[in-house]
Structure 1
């Protein structure tokens, strides 16, 4: 009996193995991957250098008091645009007004003394000529007259100082621009002098400066370009070259106004190996404010013809960059390329690609060299935007779709009809996701890892 059961089990196992073999043999061969191909985009481009810059105001004034006293009035609204000469603060002027009146009265006093000394000197002069007076008396009266005249001039200077102190009790804006908040409130004792605390701050708003620091290699590269274009070694002031620039703000948007480079330092900082350069941007809508960090882009002064492909078409094999093309037989072929500069979502190909090559721009994840593919014609959209493209920042985590709650019920859907048994279709070729727009390392944004 045990032998009969063992025999039946072996027969059932052999039948199952035979059934699996027949099912596996009935599967269809895998289909070639579906890809999208397009010829490289041919156009003239200008290389773009990108630097991190910092916005500064051309003029910045920290408002301080010139005289001490108690703050009586504040005439401005915090954050307003003020004009040059506009009243900002008032320090209690009563003490300084009294000092000014006293100085004016002292002038009258010394003028009276001068008139008396002048008449005494004249009388002594007449007596000396008649022989009734002495030389000593005459010289004393002359000295007294001169001393009185000097006292008048000193009193006038003191009165001018007193008048200025009265004027300084009303603090005015030295420049036009946007004013900060008031750092003090009414009733506080205000101190004067260089070490006194600031009362507020004013910064000019239009135009704005952007300072950035190219390294010495970039400086040499621009010098070589200048020599090649001008054919002379003499340095031309940078403001006369009309080098246009564009800035990208922190949110990824491009500032609409174009700027120009107007200054470069006359030395390279030996500690950092960089040179400070400045660009000036109009700011008519007050969109820029001092302290912002931006990405500043400078395009080369001369363009050149180039072939461009999307970043997602690039692949990496260790240190090599390559793309897949489709030949006349419908086979995928690997072509190593030399990359150039990046322009928006496109990359310049310096070497390794021809104008007529059909580059796989989508669906290349399952492609292998010398294997058949199913190509579909597509096009490469020109997103270079004159070599200075707009970039948008990656969406924040708040914008990502949220998973449903644990206790949420899925919506009811009608049951799908049961499909007849049979071989399942091969999985569709997955499409690679577009590269991220963040400042990630190039090795992760340019290639599909093999």
Structure 2
């Protein structure tokens, strides 16, 4: 009993001590100062909006090389992957049998010409004699028929020679276009088949310079391009993309910018109802052979003319459930929220369509520490400039004398083509 009272007394004294400690003076926490931020005045610069599409490269001309006569392959006269010119020797088929047929046809022509000469001589003699009654009319008619028959045989023989000459010439296979040749699909000694059944594909050739780049444009962008042309020319055009001379810029798969600009020269005559897009083609110079058929590229097209726009860095833009906003420091040093409407990206900057004026102090760093309506400790900086406008991508700056890609054969052959390799035995 005494032990229990002692424990209760100790517990009571301990509780009283804790209560007395709690009634003591509290420790005051240090007051936090305004968060450090970086501010810079919003800038106004001239910019251009661009649309980007995924395109693929195709050759303007592509030829599958087949043999027109059957025979054993005797010679391969090119290096795999080389540049060839029109008329360069590619393959040679064993021509001995075709040469023999041609020589036989030539001999038959000589025979028929001799028969024709004899028939005409006989006809001329009988024509004089029939008037004197020395030759019957029947014999004269037979002489006329024989002469006509001999003449017909000579004509038929000449046609046969022409056919045999064609087959003989087909034994020599030359390049039909300028371009880059593929590897040979058939090696020397193999039988090459011709005809419509199962002809032997020997190789393929594709033109090199220029090339086509195809991409799909949505119908809203298409209408925008046409309307822009109407505004620039003050004339209602017929909607042809060729006449609009729209320049394009290519970015390759590794992100590099292709150095040569292209021009849109074709648009399909109907929009794909399933995708809402129109297939568009641009012709692009390819003097170095960098672009190969089948390659993919990003196609960049100017969406309109240059215009003045307010710009801020992309990291200065915040977002909530309803809209986008930026923090602006007012004259009192407080952070104010301003909802904004955004436009396109210009390098590391973002176009602000509405909600912000040039010169307003925008918080560009430290936005996570900012509280709306609270003061901030500002460190002043300047905005970077957007990328310069490439005038080569503006329609008004296109060189009118730029050659059309419709007729690549009009340009001098020695501008972009390598010398064809000397014929060699494979």
TM-score, structure 1 length as denominator?
0.79
Alignment correspondent of 1:425? none
For residue 343 of structure 2, the aligned residue among 340, 343, 355 is 340
Note if contact 1:343-1:387 (Cα within 8 Å) is conserved in structure 2: no
Distance, in Å, in 1 between the alignment partners of 2:20 and 2:206 is 90
Note if contact 1:65-1:192 (Cα within 8 Å) is conserved in structure 2: yes
Does 2:292 align with 1:289?
yes
C-alpha deviation, 1:77, in angstroms: 1.2
Task: Name which of structure 1's ranges 370-379 and 104-113 shifts more when overlaid on structure 2.
Answer: 370-379
Alignment correspondent of 2:191? 189
Task: Name which of structure 1's ranges 292-301 and 228-237 shifts more when overlaid on structure 2.
Answer: 228-237
Distance, in Å, in 2 between the alignment partners of 1:287 and 1:16 is 83
Deviations 1:176-225 (A, max 9, x none): 11111112222221111355242111111111111122122222222222
- More relative contact order, 1 or 2 (CA 8 Å, 6+ apart): 2
Alignment correspondent of 1:83? 85
C-alpha deviation, 1:3, in angstroms: 4.5
Alignment correspondent of 1:312? 315
Query: In structure 2, do the counterparts of structure 1 residues 14 and 204 end up closer, same or farther at CA, with 3 Å as the change threshold?
Result: farther
Task: Determine which structure has the larger strand proportion and give its number.
Answer: 2
Aligned residue pair count? 385
Aligned pairs for 1:262-411 within 5 A: 262-386=265-389
Does 2:39 align with 1:46?
no
Note if contact 2:43-2:359 (Cα within 8 Å) is conserved in structure 1: no
Alignment correspondent of 2:59? 57
C-alpha deviation, 1:355, in angstroms: 0.7
Does 2:101 align with 1:99?
yes
Deviations 1:285-343 (A, max 9, x none): 21111111211111145211111122222222224111111112221111111111222
The CA RMSD measured in Å over matched residues stands at 2.5
Distance, in Å, in 1 between the alignment partners of 2:7 and 2:358 is 77
Q: Which ranges of structure 1 fall in alignment gaps of 5 or more residues?
A: 389-450
**Which 4+ residue blocks in structure 1 deviate beyond 6 angstroms?**
11-19
Distance, in Å, in 1 between the alignment partners of 2:177 and 2:22 is 93
TM-score, structure 2 length as denominator?
0.83
Note if contact 2:226-2:239 (Cα within 8 Å) is conserved in structure 1: no
SS at structure 2 position matched to 1:185: coil
Distance, in Å, in 2 between the alignment partners of 1:387 and 1:171 is 47
C-alpha deviation, 1:2, in angstroms: 4.2
Query: In structure 2, do the counterparts of structure 1 residues 357 and 147 end up closer, same or farther at CA, with 3 Å as the change threshold?
Result: same
C-alpha deviation, 1:15, in angstroms: 9.3
Alignment correspondent of 2:255? 252
Aligned pairs for 1:142-153 within 5 A: 142-153=144-155
Does 2:212 align with 1:212?
no
Distance, in Å, in 2 between the alignment partners of 1:15 and 1:186 is 109
For residue 234 of structure 1, the aligned residue among 234, 237, 246 is 237
